[in-house]
Chain A
Amino acid sequence: MTAINLDHMASSPLLPEVKEAMIEAINMDYGNPSSLHKVGEKASEVVENARSSVANLINASLPKEVVFTASGTGSVNHAIKGVAYANSGKGRHIVTSNIEHSSVIRSIRRLKMMDYNVTSVPVDEHGRVNPDDVANAIKKDTILVSIMHSNNEIGTIQPIEEIAKITKEKEIIFHTDAVDSVGVVPFDVQKMGADLVSFASNPFYGPTGVGGLYIRRGTRIWPLLDGGMQEYGKRAGTENIIGITGMGKAAELAKRDMDSRLIHLKELRETLLSEFPNFIDEYYINNHPEFSLPNLVSVSVKYIEGESVLLMLDDEDISIATRSACATGSLRASHVLMSIGRSHADAQGTMIITYGVDNTRDDIMRFLEEISKTVKTLRDISPLYNKIKK
Chain B
Amino acid sequence: MPRPIYLDYNGTTPHDPEVIEAMRPFLETEFGNPSSSHWYGIAPKRAVEKARSQVAGFLNCSPGEIVFTSGGTESNNYAIKGIARSIAAKGEDKGNHIITSVIEHPAVLEVCHYLEKYGFKTTYLPVDSEGVINISDLKNALSPETILISIMHANNETGAIQPISEIAEIAKKHNIITHTDAAQSLGKIPADVKELGVDLLSVAGHKIYAPKGIGALYIRDSIIPEKFCQGAGQEMGKRAGTENVLEIVGLGKACEIASRDLEEKMNVMKSLRDRLHDGLIRKDCKIRLNGHPVKRLPNTLSLSFKGLEANRILEEMGLEVAASAGAACHADTVEISHVLEAMEVPVEWAKGTIRFSVGRMTTVDEIDKAIEVVAGAVKRL
A and B from one complex: yes
What's the minimum C-beta distance from B95 to chain A, rounded to whole angstroms?
19
Select which of B20, B106, B113 is within 8 A of A236 by beta carbon: B106
B11 adjacent to A22 (CB under 8 Å)? no
In the complex, per-residue mask of B46-87: 1 if CB is within 8 Å of any chain A CB, else 0: 000000000000000000000001111110110000000000
A26 adjacent to B20 (CB under 8 Å)? yes
Task: Return chain B residues, CB-CB under 8 Å to A5.
Answer: 40
Task: Return chain A residues, CB-CB under 8 Å to B36.
Answer: 7, 10-11, 319, 321, 325, 328
Select which of B8, B39, B74, B329 is within 8 A of A228 by beta carbon: B329
**Cβ-closest chain A residue relative to B239:** A73
A32 adjacent to B4 (CB under 8 Å)? no
**Cβ-closest chain A residue relative to B331:** A36
Known: A10-B33, A228-B73. A34 touches B328 (CB 8 A): yes
Instruction: Tell me the A1-59 residues at the B interface (CB within 8 Å).
Output: 3, 5, 7, 10-14, 19, 22-23, 26-27, 29, 31-32, 34-40
B27 adjacent to A23 (CB under 8 Å)? yes
B170 in the interface, Cβ–Cβ < 8 Å?
Answer: no
Which stretch of A102-110, A288-296, A338-346 is in the interface? Answer: A102-110
When chains A and B are docked, how far (Å) is the Cα of A37 from the Cα of B328?
Answer: 9
**Cβ-closest chain B residue relative to A329:** B233
**Cβ-closest chain A residue relative to B118:** A85
B37 adjacent to A311 (CB under 8 Å)? yes
Instruction: Tell me the A151-187 residues at the B interface (CB within 8 Å).
Output: none
When chains A and B are docked, how far (Å) is the Cα of A208 from the Cα of B32?
Answer: 10
Task: Return chain B residues, CB-CB under 8 Å to A39.
Answer: 3-4, 6, 8, 322
When chains A and B are docked, how far (Å) is the Cα of A244 from the Cα of B244?
Answer: 12
What's the minimum C-beta distance from A15 to chain B, rounded to whole angstroms?
11
In the complex, per-residue mask of B212-235: 1 if CB is within 8 Å of any chain A CB, else 0: 111000000000000011111110
A388 in the interface, Cβ–Cβ < 8 Å?
Answer: no
A300 in the interface, Cβ–Cβ < 8 Å?
Answer: no
Task: Return chain B residues, CB-CB under 8 Å to A324.
Answer: 232
Task: Return chain A residues, CB-CB under 8 Å to B311.
Answer: 36
B27 adjacent to A319 (CB under 8 Å)? no
Task: Return chain B residues, CB-CB under 8 Å to A226.
Answer: 77, 106-107, 110-111, 113-114
Known: A40-B11, A73-B229, A319-B38. A227 touches B73 (CB 8 A): yes
Task: Return chain A residues, CB-CB under 8 Å to B27.
Answer: 14, 19, 22-23, 26
Task: Return chain A residues, CB-CB under 8 Å to B241.
Answer: 70-74, 103, 209
When chains A and B are docked, how far (Å) is the Cα of A77 from the Cα of B241?
Answer: 10
B105 in the interface, Cβ–Cβ < 8 Å?
Answer: yes
Select which of B41, B113, B213, B324 is within 8 A of A240 by beta carbon: B213
B330 in the interface, Cβ–Cβ < 8 Å?
Answer: yes
Most chain A beta-carbon neighbours within 10 Å: one of B212, B240, B314: B212
Select which of B3, B4, B242 is within 8 A of A73 by beta carbon: B242
B130 in the interface, Cβ–Cβ < 8 Å?
Answer: no
Query: Which interface class (under 10, 10 to 19, 20 to 34, 35 or more) fits B?
Result: 35 or more
When chains A and B are docked, how far (Å) is the Cα of A13 from the Cα of B245?
Answer: 13
When chains A and B are docked, how far (Å) is the Cα of A311 from the Cα of B325?
Answer: 57
Instruction: Tell me the B21-51 residues at the A interface (CB within 8 Å).
Output: 23, 27-28, 31-33, 35-41
A77 adjacent to B230 (CB under 8 Å)? yes
B199 in the interface, Cβ–Cβ < 8 Å?
Answer: no
Instruction: Tell me the A187-216 residues at the B interface (CB within 8 Å).
Output: 200, 202, 207-210
Known: A70-B213, A243-B213. A225 touches B77 (CB 8 A): yes
What's the minimum C-beta distance from A352 to chain B, rounded to whole angstroms?
12
When chains A and B are docked, how far (Å) is the Cα of A94 from the Cα of B123?
Answer: 35
What's the minimum C-beta distance from A141 to chain B, rounded to whole angstroms?
20
Task: Return chain B residues, CB-CB under 8 Å to A208.
Answer: 33, 242-246
When chains A and B are docked, how far (Å) is the Cα of A14 from the Cα of B241?
Answer: 18
Select which of A22, A29, A238 is within 8 A of B204 by beta carbon: A238
B206 in the interface, Cβ–Cβ < 8 Å?
Answer: yes
Known: A37-B4, A238-B73. A209 touches B107 (CB 8 A): no
**Cβ-closest chain A residue relative to B230:** A106
B38 adjacent to A243 (CB under 8 Å)? no
A71 adjacent to B242 (CB under 8 Å)? yes
B92 in the interface, Cβ–Cβ < 8 Å?
Answer: no
B157 in the interface, Cβ–Cβ < 8 Å?
Answer: no
B126 in the interface, Cβ–Cβ < 8 Å?
Answer: no
When chains A and B are docked, how far (Å) is the Cα of A325 from the Cα of B38?
Answer: 10
Known: A207-B246, A226-B114. A76 touches B231 (CB 8 A): yes
A381 in the interface, Cβ–Cβ < 8 Å?
Answer: no
A227 adjacent to B105 (CB under 8 Å)? yes
B232 adjacent to A11 (CB under 8 Å)? no
Task: Return chain A residues, CB-CB under 8 Å to B314.
Answer: 36-37
Select which of A38, A202, A209 is within 8 A of B319 by beta carbon: A38
B230 adjacent to A110 (CB under 8 Å)? yes
**Cβ-closest chain B residue relative to A12:** B31
Select which of B20, B39, B114, B213 is within 8 A of A238 by beta carbon: B213
**Cβ-closest chain B residue relative to A18:** B27
Known: A34-B330, A321-B36. A227 touches B14 (CB 8 A): no
What's the minimum C-beta distance from B275 to chain A, rounded to whole angstroms?
21
Task: Return chain B residues, CB-CB under 8 Å to A207.
Answer: 244, 246
A277 in the interface, Cβ–Cβ < 8 Å?
Answer: no
A36 adjacent to B325 (CB under 8 Å)? yes
Most chain A beta-carbon neighbours within 10 Å: one of B41, B111, B204: B41
B290 in the interface, Cβ–Cβ < 8 Å?
Answer: no
B318 in the interface, Cβ–Cβ < 8 Å?
Answer: yes
A71-B241, A313-B38 provided; 7 other pairs, C-beta below 8 A?
Answer: A32-B212, A73-B232, A209-B245, A225-B107, A314-B39, A317-B39, A320-B38
- Closest 6 pairs (CB-CB, A-B): A240-B213, A209-B244, A326-B232, A227-B107, A103-B231, A70-B70
- Residues of B whose CB lies within 8 Å of any CB of A are 3-4, 6, 8, 11-12, 14-15, 20, 23, 27-28, 31-33, 35-41, 69-74, 76-77, 89, 105-108, 110-111, 113-114, 204, 206, 211-214, 228-234, 240-248, 311, 314, 318-319, 322-325, 328-333
A-B contact pairs, 14 of them (CB 8 A): A10-B33, A26-B15, A35-B12, A35-B324, A38-B322, A39-B4, A101-B231, A106-B230, A226-B106, A238-B329, A240-B212, A241-B211, A314-B38, A319-B36
